[in-house]
Amino acid sequence: MPLLWDPLLVRHLARELDGALRGARLRALRLDGSTRDAALLFREATLHWPLHPAQGAPRVLPPAEPASGDLPLTGRVHRVGSPADERIVVLEVLPIRRGRSALDIRVELLGNQWNLVVTEGTDARIRHVLVRRRGRRDLVVGSAYAPPASSGREGCLEPLSLERWQEILTGASAPVRRRELVRTVAWTSSVNADALTPPGDPPDVEALRAGYLLWRGMAHEDAPARPVLLQTRSGPQPYPWPLPGIPADRHATLLEALDAWTSAVQGGAGALLAPELVAALEAGVDHASRRVSRLRAELAGAPDPASLRASGDLLLARLSSVRPGSPEVVLEDFEGRPVRVELDPRLAPHENADALYERAARAERTRERLPGLVVEAEARVARLEDLLDRVRRGEAEEKEVRRALPRPAQDRAAPKGSSGSPLPYRSYRSSGGMEIRVGRGARHNDELTFRHSAPQDVWLHARHASGAHVILRWGRTESPPARDLHEAAVLAALNSRARTSGTVPVDWTLRKYVRKPRGSPPGRVVMERAQTVFVTPDPELAERLAEREAE
């Protein structure tokens, strides 16, 4: 059962978070649009909030170190609150240093479009957003934040009178009374409507009064919360108070009730994993799938050893008919049929026969060895895909993921005691024959940019998304060919946190206009004279460029 957020649950969760986080010092923000997962990393704690409707229970965890792909975001929490009768939690973050603007971090829990939006300054300009949206409300970086339209329900800031309550409920028949209450009266929802709405036509006067007093106590008399996990007909539901007629399990805090919901619905919450670890697992799945394809192709293309050996036998039996230096020969087999045999003109006839026997032996070994390797590779793909699926559901632990990841291939290939280190980038070849270098990870980005590129090379990076630095080897002052630039931009988008987006803006400039501020974290740079291209992440293009991967 999905978690249902109603305004009362949101308001009291905001109060609980205010008590846990007020004064906490923010260090970084971690966003994953593909899984709709968000985490706020404070010095004192970590607020992890999965914002997929099926996994929407926040947790306050011990502090975690920011990962290289996290967004640096600093400030101190002034307060945590929620607008009246809304399903939005707002963390107000004040700057620590002079000259910086205040931030508002809004967690929207609307329908099935949950989101996190970071706005900056008095004009509430969007600085970061978990899931970009366009429509009635544009939630994109750089635009002004527009709050959701108010429901305009009655009794939002001041309680309704008993007479007005009775008028609303007695004016509707029993089948639609519950719906009319939720449509008209603030602080009501599908969670509490049954407890507030009396049955029968006409409704009992005392039942009307009891429902009104319950609503007024919850919505306006600021009664202390008594957190529970309601056992509704639809499934467990965290709530600030027990409701009449609904069995409930008591909990000390709402966060504990939310943890209990997670355990009941999902079997427990997994660890908060660094984006680099998830990306490494995704790359592992991709690498293992490619290995399966290569093994299948190799098995399908393996020659018939019997045919090769028969050609060798025929060649030895007809050596006198073979002219040295011929690329092929047509011989009559032992049943009188003509057979064409390809030869290596550099070899003598008897050496060609030996080569055919060697090829037959290799083909036999290949046909014996590859089926088992294919089965093993397919099993590994299945295991990694299952693990990745559990990671995305929050059910896997960090140790399990690390155990599943192989040691990097370049480390395995390095001889023992070797002091050499692998290159900090992967090389591709564009359609125009230009080399494209893609950083292997955040900690390698600086090395690629400042040690493995020239001032006149083109530098690219996906805008507003952590990811790899990309270098298009160019060496001139004029703009590079559009096709090669586009392909490099696609690789930059694919190797960034925006790889699941439909369209990704990629900034580019000459590498000489990229500099690293003193004391900035790994991978953090500043660029000048930037231009932008918009590309669609295309894994098939990356596959084609990978086939031409530079040596």
Residue in 135, 105, 151 with CA at minimum distance from that of residue 6: 151
309, 361 in Cβ contact below 8 A?
A: no
Could you tell me which CATH class the domain 7-129 is placed in?
mainly beta
Asked if pLDDT for residue 539 goes beyond 50, the answer is: yes
Phi and psi at residue 532, in whole multiples of 5°?
Answer: -130, 135
Q: What's the average model confidence in pLDDT over 79-90?
A: 96
The tokens describing 134, both together, are 């366009």
For residue range 498-529, list pLDDT tens digits in order. 887 778 899 999 999 999 888 888 888 899 99
For residue range 126-142, list pLDDT tens digits in order. 999 999 888 888 999 98
For residue range 85-142, list pLDDT tens digits in order. 999 999 999 998 887 889 999 999 998 889 999 999 989 999 999 998 888 889 999 8
For residue range 372-411, list pLDDT tens digits in order. 888 988 998 999 998 888 776 667 777 788 888 765 433 3
Asked if pLDDT for residue 547 goes beyond 60, the answer is: no
pTM: 0.57
Asked if pLDDT for residue 185 goes beyond 80, the answer is: yes
In Å, how far are 81, 186, 255, 298, 364 from 13, measured between CA atoms? 9, 18, 8, 58, 67
Quickly state the pLDDT bin for 242 (edges 50, 70, 90): very high
Distance CA 217, CA 158 (A): 12
The tokens describing 70, both together, are 């996290």
Residues 488, 491, 492, CA angle at the centre, nearest 5°?
90
Single-letter code of the amino acid located at 471: I
In Å, how far are 32, 148, 149, 160 from 138, measured between CA atoms? 19, 11, 13, 35
Residue predicted with more confidence, 466 or 86: 86
Residue in 145, 143, 188 with CA at minimum distance from that of residue 165: 188
Tell me if residue 64 falls in helix, strand or coil.
Answer: coil
Buried/exposed code over 375-390 (b: 16+ C-beta within 10 A; e: otherwise): eebbebbeebeebbee
pLDDT of residue 270: 60
222 CB neighbour count, 10 Å cutoff:
10
**C-alpha radius of gyration, the chain, whole number:** 33
At 120, which helix (H) or strand (E)?
strand 115-120
Residue 118 bridge partners (DSSP): 105, 128
Strand segments (E) across 186-233? 228-232
56, 73 in Cβ contact below 8 A?
A: no
Q: What's the average model confidence in pLDDT over 409-422?
A: 39
Q: H-type helices in 267-408, by residue range? A: 275-301, 305-317, 349-392, 398-404
62 CB neighbour count, 10 Å cutoff:
8
Of 62-76, 278-292, 389-403, 445-459, which range is least confident?
389-403
pLDDT of residue 271: 63
Quickly state the pLDDT bin for 548 (edges 50, 70, 90): very low
For a pLDDT cut of 90, what percent of the chain falls above it? 43
pLDDT of residue 411: 37
Distance CA 39, CA 47 (A): 6
Asked if pLDDT for residue 145 goes beyond 70, the answer is: yes
At 115, which helix (H) or strand (E)?
strand 115-120
Asked if pLDDT for residue 361 goes beyond 90, the answer is: no
Give just the sign of the alpha carbon dihedral 343, 347, 349, 351. Answer: negative
Distance CA 297, CA 307 (A): 20
Phi and psi at residue 512, in whole multiples of 5°?
Answer: -65, -15
Single-letter code of the amino acid located at 213: L
Quickly state the pLDDT bin for 1 (edges 50, 70, 90): low
Mean pLDDT score across all residues of the chain: 87
Q: Which residues contact 519 (CB under 8 A, 6 or more apart)?
A: none
In Å, how far are 37, 167, 185, 472 from 164, measured between CA atoms? 42, 5, 10, 70
pLDDT of residue 414: 36
Range(s) of the chain covered by CATH 2.30.310.10:
7-129
Query: 191-195, 366-370, 392-396 — which one is most confidently predicted on average?
Result: 191-195
Quickly state the pLDDT bin for 275 (edges 50, 70, 90): low
Of 126-135, 195-204, 261-270, which range is least confident?
261-270
pLDDT of residue 7: 96
Single-letter code of the amino acid located at 544: R
For a pLDDT cut of 70, what percent of the chain falls above it? 93
Quickly state the pLDDT bin for 412 (edges 50, 70, 90): very low
Residue in 49, 64, 54 with CA at minimum distance from that of residue 10: 49
Asked if pLDDT for residue 431 goes beyond 70, the answer is: yes
